[in-house]
Structure 1
Amino acid sequence: MRFIKKTISVMLVVLIAFACCFVTAGAKTVDFRTPTSTEQANLRFALKLGTSYRDAPSPPVFADGYLVVMSGKTLYKIDAENGKIIKQAEMSETPSFSYTPVTYSDGVIYCPLDNGIVQAFDFKTLKSKWIYKDALGGQSLTGIVVSDGKAYTGFWNDETEKANYVCISTKDEDKKSTHEEKTASWTYTHKGGFYWAKSVVTGDYIIFGSDDGTVYDNKESSVFCFDKETGELADSIKIMGDQRSGITFDKDTSKLYFATKAGYLYSVKFSKGAFDDSSLKKLSLGGASTSTPAISDGRIYIGVQGESFGKGYLKIIDADNLKILHSVSMKGYPQNEVTLSVQDNKTFVYSTYNASPGGISIVDVSADKVSATDLFVPDEGMRNYCISPIEVSEDGTLFYKNDSGYIFAIENIENMEETNAFFAFFIDIFEAIASFFKSIFSFIGI
């Protein structure tokens, strides 16, 4: 049954691909047929794995038909079709508040765990491969980036405490040991540490931001560029406030984009290990941002905090001149990286928000009036605050979690109807062919 469903999904993706235009875009941009209305959005399943934000599941990662999630000290592999737990394994520690997802790369799951730990698991078997324990420890809130046989991540101890950014070889040197302890290939120690400071790799270099090392003062912090192999510092630039978002690199313009808690969006050109200081631009967003900029067709999409814990905003910004095109009011602060879906020459923005009920909002960027509407609202008992990105599978299903402890799968019901109609057509043909040959065989006495 699973094989049939997977085959259907693959064939549907092929059909959709022919129907869609080619998309050139930044991270978190898809051209799958995601649901675009409440009528299309159908709750495929909701799986409860935790009771509060302390043991809530991590944001789900979709890989090869499965969701990979951490909750408590357990790593789960879940069937993305029905929400059934396929395998589970014990981790050496818990994730830090379950804000940060695992990273999947080349058949390996990399888990960011508390007390400065990274643990690697085989995707197929969920057997532990190795473990890294950082000397300075800290919360593992920074997403792990894997490139050319190395894993990169940072840790955070406190606003004014030191913590490390590390490079770890992903090679499993001792295959007989499940908890082989790794040593970092290189480390960089920084006062204030690294909080949600997910790096970006371009060429031979890795780029990541940092906290400013002060308590709520919005002082100068830095964005660093290192040789990703040797750990040699190649360049750095000074910015204002804690840099607590991922960094996005636009290959078309060779520009880096990132935001800070001080409320600024920055852009700067980058080439061959050097920042072009003369090209550095910044825009006041009107509120803090820990949202990784998503870029598509010359526009930046980023979440911005509103007043206190009230409503937040989705800002749509011209990527060239950093001018705000739209400021869309949201139910809460969108602290995650948004997801973009381009369908029939229309761009739809999907985002969660850090407020109850903890659902999904959608913004049709091509509409005459650009505004956010509810795509999915969880039922009572499934509502809570939410800092979760949205994963998308090839069949257009959206996956996310909130602090209620539930993982949600929101499918496009029209995709299933189209798939069923597609296969019903071919079944009719096969039945007609079978009937034809049956009548011939009957006629000739076979």
Structure 2
Amino acid sequence: MKKLTKILALFVSVLMIYTLSPLQIFAQGSEGMPSEAEISESSEDEPPEDSSAAEGQEQSPDDTEDDSAVMSASKQTEQTETESEPVETKSEPAETETLDIQTQAAETEEDVAALSAEATVKTRFILVGTSKDPSETENPYQIWLDIPFEITEGTDAWEYTQTVLKENKYDYTETEWGNHLQKVTPPAEASGQIELEGGVTNGSSSSWMWSYNDNVDKSAHEYQVQEDDVIRWYFTNDWSQEYAGHPETFYPEAGNDINIVPDAIRPTDLTAWWPAFGGAMDHNSVKELGFAIDGLTGSEVFTMQKQGGWIDSFSDPIQVGEWIYVVFSDTIYKLNADGSVNASAKLNFLIDSTSRLAYADGLVLVPMKYGKVQALTADKLTTVWIADAPDQILLDDSAGVTVPRSQQSLSSLKVANGKVYQGSCTVGWDPRSFGGTFRALSLKDGSTIWEYSSNESGFYWSGAALLNGVLIVGNDRGEVFAFNAEDGSIVDKMTLPAAPAIRTNMIAVGSQVYFISREDGALHRLDVNSDGSLGALKSVKFSDGDSTASPAISDGKVYAAGSGVLSVIDAATMTIEKNYEFEGGAQGTPLVVKDKSGRTFVFFTINKEPGALYGVATDEDDVHTVFTPDESQQNWCMASVSISEDGTLYYSNDSHTFFAIKLSEKQITDDDSTVTIPEEELPATGESSFLTHLISLSFFALAAVTLIFRNRLKKINNK
């Protein structure tokens, strides 16, 4: 009996050791694995130099020299008169002595007069011309001269004008009543400038006009030029136009007549599922759905196709309340979920090729042509204000003539703390913009709070992130600005290596921003310090270039689209984990969607025909075509994708069609309510399916041995 007991105890001990040892090994292995928080990196890049230091300014010389000269001359006169008086004599001075005294006095007075006549004033002279036979939609005005000019104090503006024109080789003819320009002929070497005559060139309503410091209440010969005056002569093609000789502020188009109701009630109680580009004011295009997606296919809910020319396009949509808001050309539509029109309204101007709407405090904000912004109530589409366009950018054309270039509003609007932040740019045939503006508008009335302007580069498809009190935004010269959000002052600025254009939104995560540069196809992560200054930069190249899609960030992964690739990049290590390859370039921002089952999907467009909608599941390797338009609705496509709570995807292409495509919903049964883990996948506890089977088998063997031992014991007792 004792022998059997010892054998049984030994067997059980061995069995327990055999069973528990793998668990201990796996537990130790799990403890030894480094966590994400333990992985750290240090940037070798030096922090950018602070560019906000003020440059020294030249001091204007004071005018004490002339005063001293006059005082010296006066003293000399007094001294001469004193010396010429007879001392202790009653005789009359000789005739020659009297003449000498008078001569000296006369010469002294002439010297004083000469010195007084040499006093001058410093001014600025501007001469503005026009082009020949301009179109109705063209800003024809050109700056021919913009120069500093010093003139004798007391000179009237007409004499001053003649002097400046003669010195710069411009011929002129006076009007028949005099003291005013009738015709101006530029010098032969002034390429791009033409002879302009009032009432003749460009119609009978044309004329030469003048102003001093933008005042027009006096004739030129009636006004004496003063220190720091700006004297402006400008040719107007129609004297009745609202034009004061500033080409940068002149817009030939009046636009649609809009009834503005500043006091209209703003429906501030509305909630917005998709209030701005990217689905939120942070522009990070990530959404979670309350159901499981059943495959990467979609069905058409509705399409909205419009007729228009190459300048007409759809905006990016927003979703407020139960409605979808989208603009085509110069009309905003408030759509029901089925695509029917709930309401519509005209805009002051049509939108540019890209227009990213935004919603805030009951208002739908629409960026338009020239950089204007129109604010309408979300319920009735009543216009409450229209923000003025930023000044046009003055640039020299190929002939060297300074001409105004209007701006486009292609960037994302950001609304925060009662301010609307907007970027704009001046574009042409050059791959990069020529200039641009970044400004803050009042959400209350559309007035300009502050404005930064550049004639070197603009803000194209970009958008700002707000953190640590500064707005971080990039431009077409590869420059990253940190603007003080309150007053627009530049807190810091840095330039990317090789200065590639930045045409994406800045996506903030913690105290860092992520963005993509165009030419080099690189994702960048930039630290923003607590004082708003810019810190370390880390980059990874993922594409061959032409990358204009903003990154989307979810669960520590960055989804970046570019030429022929959609990349999944680890946000902490900035290393590429996975690439999805395709033909063509993805220029719209990818949409990341997490469904109820825990799966992650990415939807995007490719800029090629047929202008379809594509998607991937991150746990798979293939790119799927989610939806292909009908043949009449096929064209190229640069649109970004948005989604509603019910899984309807929205986008447009160059066929002037707006699409609503519904994803299929997977019906979850009781059997589907629990998640089945693949056999070889390691659960979070550190156990595996192999260990589970081993433990079960061991306890089964123990039970069998116990049963055998019990039977043997019974037999012994019976004996």
Report the CA distance shift for 1:414/1:280 in structure 2 as closer, same or farther (over 3 A): closer
Matched, 1:84 2:344: no
2 CA distance for matches of 1:95 and 1:293? 25
Q: Can you list the C-alpha shifts for 1:368-415, whole angstroms capped at 9, x where unaligned?
A: xx2211111111111111111112111111111111111111113437
Q: Which residue of 1 aligns with 2:688?
A: none
Q: Following TM superposition, by how much is the alpha carbon of 1:52 offset from its aligned partner in structure 2, in angstroms?
A: 5.5
Matched, 1:268 2:526: yes
Q: Which residue of 2 aligns with 1:164?
A: 437
2 CA distance for matches of 1:96 and 1:140? 7
Report the CA distance shift for 1:314/1:355 in structure 2 as closer, same or farther (over 3 A): same
Q: Which residue of 1 aligns with 2:500?
A: 241
Q: Which residue of 2 aligns with 1:231?
A: 488
Report the CA distance shift for 1:247/1:156 in structure 2 as closer, same or farther (over 3 A): same
Q: Secondary structure at the match of 1:330?
A: strand
Matched, 1:406 2:657: yes
* Aligned residues of 1:50 and 1:56 also touching (Cα < 8 A): no
1 CA distance for matches of 2:541 and 2:288? 31
Between 374-383 and 326-335, the greater mean CA deviation after superposition: 326-335
* Aligned residues of 1:227 and 1:273 also touching (Cα < 8 A): no
Q: Secondary structure at the match of 1:348?
A: strand
Q: Which residue of 1 aligns with 2:356?
A: 101
Q: Secondary structure at the match of 2:632?
A: coil
Q: Following TM superposition, by how much is the alpha carbon of 1:36 offset from its aligned partner in structure 2, in angstroms?
A: 4.9
> What amino acid is the match of 1:281?
K
What aligned pairs does 1:7-406 form with structure 2 within 5 A after superposition? 27-32=284-289, 33=291, 35-38=293-296, 41-51=298-308, 54-79=311-336, 81-97=337-353, 99-132=354-387, 133-136=389-392, 137-158=406-427, 159=432, 161-172=434-445, 182-190=446-454, 191-212=456-477, 221-239=478-496, 240-251=499-510, 254-263=511-520, 264-277=522-535, 279-285=536-542, 286-305=544-563, 312-343=564-595, 344-367=597-620, 370-406=621-657
Q: Secondary structure at the match of 2:527?
A: strand
Report the CA distance shift for 1:187/1:203 in structure 2 as closer, same or farther (over 3 A): same
1 CA distance for matches of 2:539 and 2:293? 35
Q: Secondary structure at the match of 2:584?
A: coil
1 CA distance for matches of 2:492 and 2:294? 43
* Aligned residues of 1:122 and 1:128 also touching (Cα < 8 A): yes
Q: Can you list the C-alpha shifts for 1:118-145, whole angstroms capped at 9, x where unaligned?
A: 1111111111111112122401101111
Which structure carries more strand by proportion? 1
Q: Which residue of 2 aligns with 1:423?
A: none
* Aligned residues of 1:37 and 1:375 also touching (Cα < 8 A): no
5+ residue gaps, structure 1, are 1-9, 14-24, 173-181, 213-220, 306-311, 419-446
2 CA distance for matches of 1:273 and 1:330? 42
* Aligned residues of 1:294 and 1:302 also touching (Cα < 8 A): yes
* Aligned residues of 2:547 and 2:587 also touching (Cα < 8 A): yes
Aligned residues: 364
> What amino acid is the match of 2:504?
S
1 CA distance for matches of 2:573 and 2:530? 23
Q: Which residue of 2 aligns with 1:431?
A: none
RMSD of aligned alpha carbons: 2.2
TM-score normalised to structure 1 length: 0.77
* Aligned residues of 1:237 and 1:275 also touching (Cα < 8 A): no
2 CA distance for matches of 1:49 and 1:101? 19
Q: Following TM superposition, by how much is the alpha carbon of 1:34 offset from its aligned partner in structure 2, in angstroms?
A: 7.2
Report the CA distance shift for 1:26/1:103 in structure 2 as closer, same or farther (over 3 A): closer
2 CA distance for matches of 1:354 and 1:63? 28
Between 314-323 and 50-59, the greater mean CA deviation after superposition: 50-59
* Aligned residues of 1:34 and 1:396 also touching (Cα < 8 A): no
Q: Following TM superposition, by how much is the alpha carbon of 1:171 offset from its aligned partner in structure 2, in angstroms?
A: 0.5
> What amino acid is the match of 2:484?
D
> What amino acid is the match of 1:143?
S
Q: Following TM superposition, by how much is the alpha carbon of 1:54 offset from its aligned partner in structure 2, in angstroms?
A: 2.6
1 CA distance for matches of 2:425 and 2:657? 27
2 CA distance for matches of 1:35 and 1:400? 19
Between 265-274 and 111-120, the greater mean CA deviation after superposition: 265-274
* Aligned residues of 1:60 and 1:401 also touching (Cα < 8 A): no
Between 43-52 and 387-396, the greater mean CA deviation after superposition: 43-52
1 CA distance for matches of 2:342 and 2:330? 17
> What amino acid is the match of 2:357?
V
> What amino acid is the match of 1:120?
A
Q: Secondary structure at the match of 1:381?
A: helix
Report the CA distance shift for 1:301/1:67 in structure 2 as closer, same or farther (over 3 A): same
Q: Secondary structure at the match of 1:414?
A: strand
Q: Following TM superposition, by how much is the alpha carbon of 1:53 offset from its aligned partner in structure 2, in angstroms?
A: 5.0
Higher relative contact order (CA 8 A, sep 6+): 1
> What amino acid is the match of 1:131?
I
* Aligned residues of 2:333 and 2:345 also touching (Cα < 8 A): yes
2 CA distance for matches of 1:46 and 1:167? 36
> What amino acid is the match of 2:574?
L
Q: Can you list the C-alpha shifts for 1:405-427, whole angstroms capped at 9, x where unaligned?
A: 11111113437x89xxxxxxxxx
Q: Following TM superposition, by how much is the alpha carbon of 1:262 offset from its aligned partner in structure 2, in angstroms?
A: 2.0
2 CA distance for matches of 1:261 and 1:394? 32
* Aligned residues of 2:364 and 2:376 also touching (Cα < 8 A): yes
Q: Following TM superposition, by how much is the alpha carbon of 1:196 offset from its aligned partner in structure 2, in angstroms?
A: 0.7
Q: Following TM superposition, by how much is the alpha carbon of 1:35 offset from its aligned partner in structure 2, in angstroms?
A: 4.6
Q: Which residue of 1 aligns with 2:198?
A: none
* Aligned residues of 2:469 and 2:532 also touching (Cα < 8 A): no
5+ residue gaps, structure 2, are 1-270, 274-281, 393-405, 669-719
Q: Secondary structure at the match of 1:280?
A: strand
Which structure carries more helix by proportion? 2
* Aligned residues of 1:57 and 1:405 also touching (Cα < 8 A): yes
1 CA distance for matches of 2:537 and 2:648? 38
Q: Can you list the C-alpha shifts for 1:122-174, whole angstroms capped at 9, x where unaligned?
A: 111111111112122401101111111100111111346332111001113xx
Between 126-135 and 199-208, the greater mean CA deviation after superposition: 199-208
* Aligned residues of 1:26 and 1:295 also touching (Cα < 8 A): no
Q: Which residue of 1 aligns with 2:18?
A: none
2 CA distance for matches of 1:66 and 1:73? 19
